[in-house]
Structure 1
Amino acid sequence: MNLRQKQIRRSLPILTVGAFLAGGLVLAQTSPAQPSTKSVPARPATSGRVTSGADKLTSAEGTLFTKARPSTLRILQCPVNNCVEPDGIGTAFLIGDDGLALTAYHVIFQAKALSAQTADRKRYAVEVVGYDDQNDIALLRVNVPKGTPYLPVVAASPKVGDPVLAIGNGGGSFLTPKTGRLTALDTPSDRADFPSGTLELTAPLIPGDSGGPILNAKGEVTGVVSYISVKPSNVDDLSADPEITAYAVPVTAGAQRLADLKKGVKREAPVIGVSIGGNLALLTALPERLFAEANERLSLGLGSVAGAFFTDVSANTPAARAGLRPLQYNAEGKVTQGDLVTAIDGKRVVNFSDFQRIVRSNYQPGDTVTLKVLRAGKTIEVKMTLIGRSTVAQR
């Protein structure tokens, strides 16, 4: 697993210049134990002091890091007693003397086995207590010894401009620090499968830092690292270091989200089971006003009414069971058939991202929705019953 990253995308040359250009997002997910490529040094997207590595910390930052590090963990996707080649590496941190620890949900998603490594490199068993898939946060119980240090969770929300310290395992490192500043609060995500309402910060996080703590100057936890945004720093020189902006799920001591996790709530995100690939992936968030132009220039054969189209329907998913049809092409590359979803329970759908977002924001696994679908020039209604993401993954 690795930091959920928005991939840097380029617009299709045959379309209006810049009309369909999309930015890149990446889950600050877990990274491979031995990354196959060298991490590219990150340049922050906004101004402000940014550091990576203990040797670059100020005296105050160094003191904070030294105090906080024993409360942080390296999360490994492997059994405690057999961890030569873990499937993935992420970060977590203790928040209580009972072994409770927070991490990002994508760090542990689909893990067959989990173990945690403390600063002294000893490994301990891990149990998943609760999670919230849509908000990318999970609560673990780690079998650490009594007296193991833990981090306090802040009581109130932070402020823009606050300095922050992150601790993580990015790029194969072991519980190393990175600093930056908060640049925005309650940040929306432009992808349905990434959490909204996040803290935006300048710390140069990379894959493996996911699930780590974001600490304020007092050493209190304000957020859990979730994903990063990667964009070119110079559009005329794509070899230049990219600009990286990081995002963290906010946490406060009295928040209902944290209370639910402690109660063992395991909240799944509903899935549809459709995807869009190839060059058409650039059009996942196609604005309604540009749909007709894209349809004509790409010969999609979908008409002039905007909606969600897709190129694949996964087996044994809600979309497959509902009979939704992906775009299909003939030998000349022309679209011969494919559904266009234009509404869900009366809510207007104008593109693929809309389709995903409306489902994930308004429904739960087990809910049945009614889709308005344009098929072969005719409008039909299709019933679709949603299931959880982990249910699909287990099949």
Structure 2
Amino acid sequence: MRAKTTLLALTLAAAFGGFAATAMRDALQQPAIATPPAAAAVPMLAALPASVDGQALPSLAPMLRQVTPSVVSVHTKQRVRVSPFGNDPFFRRMFPELSQERINESLGSGVIVDAAQGYVLTNHHVIEGADDVSVTLADGRTLEAEFIGSDVDTDVALMRVKASGLTAIPLARDSNLQVGDFVVAVGNPFGFGQTVTSGIVSAVERSNVPGVGFQNFIQTDASINPGNSGGALVNLRGELVGINTASFNTQGSMAGNIGLGFAIPIGLARNVMTQLAATGSVQRGTLGVDTQTVDARIAQGLGLDAPRGAVVTRVYGGSSAANAGLRTGDVVVSANGQRIDNSEALRNFQGLQALDAPVTLEVLRDGKPMKIETRLRALPRDGASFDPRLAGATLADLPEAIRRQNDRIGGVRIEKVEPGSRAHNNGLREGDLILAANSGEFRDLAGFRDSLASRPADLAMRISRGGRIYNVIMR
């Protein structure tokens, strides 16, 4: 029980910013009144020299004058109905007139990345569930924001504002970022307004943050506090290197910054933004394999020197992995030069790649190294392509953050169901989770599709809806 409590605390501690900070701001805005002693006047402090040995003192001010017009404050409003009967569905239906509308407000940050189009990048969790979103520019103008799309698995969202005189920030190249580089975070912490903090890059390619989806974070000791979410992490040239997204503290994010901040690399954010701008959603490719982490027992059985890598336990028919010649028993130890230590690392690698991206896998087959060239192929999501009885349903994998909370969780999510469609008439509804089917075992969309390849004459599925389990016969 203690371990579960600790895990929950760590997960909540990594909770994102972008929430209302009104109460804290009001408290902090009450000035403390100090009465100076009536003693002798305090001597004036000597001013810093403008230069030393003929060299001007370094300052970030010139760079920040170029950057800060691109960073905006994001304001969201969400309308919710509150009933004195809580969540009891019976009494809520019996006495709807007793329910009252309440507006939840929250604050976050965003970055203008395309002045001509008015594109603003922020975090998914900043605008999630919002009914109204507006942004306040550095010059004081407040504008309504149009939601373009978001990706929960990378926590990236794209908005658009219509205004003249916007200033976009230049984007950096990920490959140039190194541990030890100086970086500056700009955002709207606690609703105070635009604030600048500085630090260094503490690490790159972090992928072990609890409760988050696909991960490739920049870690920094620049203070990233609640409300900084969606703001800019820039280098000393004033280029955007990342989108600030999370702070980590075992006491919770409201306890303050302890030098563990995380930002989404701009290369990843740019790839997601491109898809969102084009289609409003993000598609991901897959190798089409199931894998298992190589532990000491598996390493001994395969004759490996060390327990490292992801061993292939299943290759789906017709997948890119099958076409490339990947086999059951192969151990993946590297992908595009990135070290793969376990099954989670390989899954995370796939989730971060652009659609149809080329992939070079380094594998051990019978203990001997070899390379396999392949690509990540996107799976169709319309139910009819899986089975005619699912026509009208749009399918999706579980959000990665949910799956990471418990590796035993698996299934397929019903993202949308067209009214009157065959899937709708068979009893499927938006938000349903397909946990199992008599067609075979599966853990994700690729496995579900593979299980239905033989078109079973009778199809029965176990569905989770609103915390309850149903058995559905598909006709």
TM category (shorter chain) comes to 0.5 to 0.7
Distance 1:263 1:244 in 2: 37
Aligned: 1:32 with 2:32: no
Give the SS at the match of 1:29: coil
Match of 1:173 among 156, 170, 192: 192
2:220, 2:259 within 8 Å by CA — same for their partners in 1?
no
Match in the other structure for 2:462: 383
TM-superposition CA deviations, 1:68-112 (whole Å, max 9, x none): 111111111149xxxxx8711110010112211100111111111
Q: Call closer, same or farther: CA 1:351–1:138 in 2, change over 3 Å.
A: closer
Match of 1:87 among 86, 105, 130: 105
Q: CA deviation at 1:227?
A: 1.0
Aligned runs of 1:305-384 on 2, under 5 Å? 353-355=406-408, 365=415, 368-370=434-436, 383-384=462-463
Q: Which amino acid aligns with 1:250?
A: P
Q: CA deviation at 1:125?
A: 1.4
Match in the other structure for 2:131: 112
Q: CA deviation at 1:258?
A: 2.8
- How many matched pairs? 256
Aligned: 1:67 with 2:66: yes
Give the SS at the match of 1:247: strand
Give the SS at the match of 1:90: strand
Please list every run of 5 or more consecutive structure 1 residues that lacks an aligned counterpart in the other structure: 1-10, 40-57, 80-84, 233-239, 270-343, 345-349, 373-380, 388-395
Q: CA deviation at 1:222?
A: 1.2
TM-superposition CA deviations, 1:288-335 (whole Å, max 9, x none): xxxxxxxxxxxxxxxxxxxxxxxxxxxxxxxxxxxxxxxxxxxxxxxx
Q: CA deviation at 1:386?
A: 9.0
Q: Call closer, same or farther: CA 1:19–1:228 in 2, change over 3 Å.
A: closer
TM-score by length of 2: 0.47
Q: Call closer, same or farther: CA 1:260–1:119 in 2, change over 3 Å.
A: same
TM-superposition CA deviations, 1:118-149 (whole Å, max 9, x none): 1121111101112111100011101221x321
1:251, 1:258 within 8 Å by CA — same for their partners in 2?
no
Please list every run of 5 or more consecutive structure 2 residues that lacks an aligned counterpart in the other structure: 29-56, 79-102, 285-396, 398-402, 417-432, 442-459, 467-475
Match in the other structure for 2:240: 221
1:365, 1:386 within 8 Å by CA — same for their partners in 2?
no
Distance 2:213 2:139 in 1: 33
Give the SS at the match of 2:15: strand
Match in the other structure for 1:185: 204
2:220, 2:262 within 8 Å by CA — same for their partners in 1?
yes
Distance 1:68 1:136 in 2: 23
Match in the other structure for 1:292: none
Q: CA deviation at 1:242?
A: 6.4
Give the SS at the match of 2:172: coil
TM-superposition CA deviations, 1:37-76 (whole Å, max 9, x none): 878xxxxxxxxxxxxxxxxxx8432222222111111111
Distance 1:116 1:221 in 2: 19
Q: CA deviation at 1:265?
A: 2.8
1:212, 1:225 within 8 Å by CA — same for their partners in 2?
yes
Match in the other structure for 2:172: 154
Q: Call closer, same or farther: CA 1:152–1:263 in 2, change over 3 Å.
A: same
Distance 2:153 2:243 in 1: 14
Match in the other structure for 1:246: 261
Distance 2:256 2:105 in 1: 28
Match in the other structure for 1:295: none
* Identity rate, percent: 21
Match in the other structure for 2:217: 198
Give the SS at the match of 2:267: coil
1:167, 1:175 within 8 Å by CA — same for their partners in 2?
yes
TM-score by length of 1: 0.55
Give the SS at the match of 2:436: strand
Distance 1:71 1:253 in 2: 19
98-107 vs 249-258, which deviates more?
249-258
Q: CA deviation at 1:189?
A: 3.4
Q: Call closer, same or farther: CA 1:35–1:351 in 2, change over 3 Å.
A: same
Match in the other structure for 1:230: 249
Q: Which amino acid aligns with 1:99?
A: G
Distance 1:254 1:21 in 2: 28
Q: Call closer, same or farther: CA 1:190–1:383 in 2, change over 3 Å.
A: farther
Match of 1:263 among 259, 274, 278: 278
Q: CA deviation at 1:352?
A: 5.1
TM-superposition CA deviations, 1:144-192 (whole Å, max 9, x none): 21x3211011133321111111111101211110111111111113434
Match in the other structure for 1:309: none
Q: Which amino acid aligns with 2:168?
A: Y
Match in the other structure for 2:10: 23
TM-superposition CA deviations, 1:336-390 (whole Å, max 9, x none): xxxxxxxx9xxxxx9952245x66xx97847844288xxxxxxxx9734799xxx
Distance 1:111 1:105 in 2: 10
1:114, 1:126 within 8 Å by CA — same for their partners in 2?
yes
2:9, 2:250 within 8 Å by CA — same for their partners in 1?
no
Distance 2:192 2:153 in 1: 28
Name the structure with the higher helix share. 2
Distance 1:70 1:352 in 2: 38
